[in-house]
Structure 1
């Protein structure tokens, strides 16, 4: 028993070159690999934050103030399980289509009002 423990402690694990998960992929069907990839993408998704009445009022006040001052804002929006950030000045708000048109130094883009979860004025 003592020889086994001595041999085990003397074993240098840094010399073992294992292929990791690559060795198992060859035995898996392509459908299984796709399902695993989809699963990993799904668990990375973030749930939509629950906003209450006060949060919506704060967002509205920040947007109105940014329009009056014509300053840059940072908009945080939630779409398909992830947060996206946009920065620019508000050019137009279309309430019939429920979008805000922003301009950054490179382009114009539209942000849906329903996707906005936070607005910060950058001064």
Structure 2
């Protein structure tokens, strides 16, 4: 006998709409992460790698925090705007992305 468990799907017919909404919210919030606090050494290391990447136009992989999630992007850094505190990175698709300097978590030179 082959029984396939469908998880919450089998129970949704008996649930109220409010319960279904709350289950969706719970699943969404499980993926939420808190922004880690970087110490001075980590910030200095990111700053050093950032300067090298800009001067030598090296491709980088950046891990950053946005919308309660950790995200990763890669490309070449076009500009660092210190007035707006943001990094402008050009991705492989020739699209430019702006990332706040305060949200940088890790930077790897390729």
Q: Sort the Cα spacing of 1:121 and 1:21 in 2 relative to 1 into closer, same or farther, 3 A.
A: same
Tell me by how many angstroms 1:80 deviates.
2.4
Distance, in Å, in 1 between the alignment partners of 2:51 and 2:61 is 14
Partners of 1:78 and 1:31 in 2: how far apart? Answer: 31
Q: Unmatched 5+ residue regions in structure 2? A: none
Name which of 79, 104, 108 aligns with 2:66: 79
Q: CA deviation at 1:48?
A: 1.6
> Which residue in 2 is equivalent to 1:30?
17
Task: Report the CA distance shift for 1:33/1:119 in structure 2 as closer, same or farther (over 3 A).
Answer: same
In structure 1, the partner of 2:84 is 97
1:111 matches 2:96: no
Larger Rg: 1
Unaligned 5+ runs, structure 1: 1-13
> Which consecutive segments of 4 or more residues in structure 1 shift more than 4 A?
15-20
* Cα RMSD after superposing both structures: 1.7
What's the TM-score once normalised by structure 2's chain length?
A: 0.88
TM-score (norm 1): 0.80
Distance in 2 (alpha carbons) for counterparts of 1:71 and 1:55: 20
Taking the TM superposition and a 5 Å limit, the aligned residue runs for 1:52-63 are 52-63=39-50
How many residues get paired? 109
Matches of 1:41 and 1:63 in 2, distance apart? 33
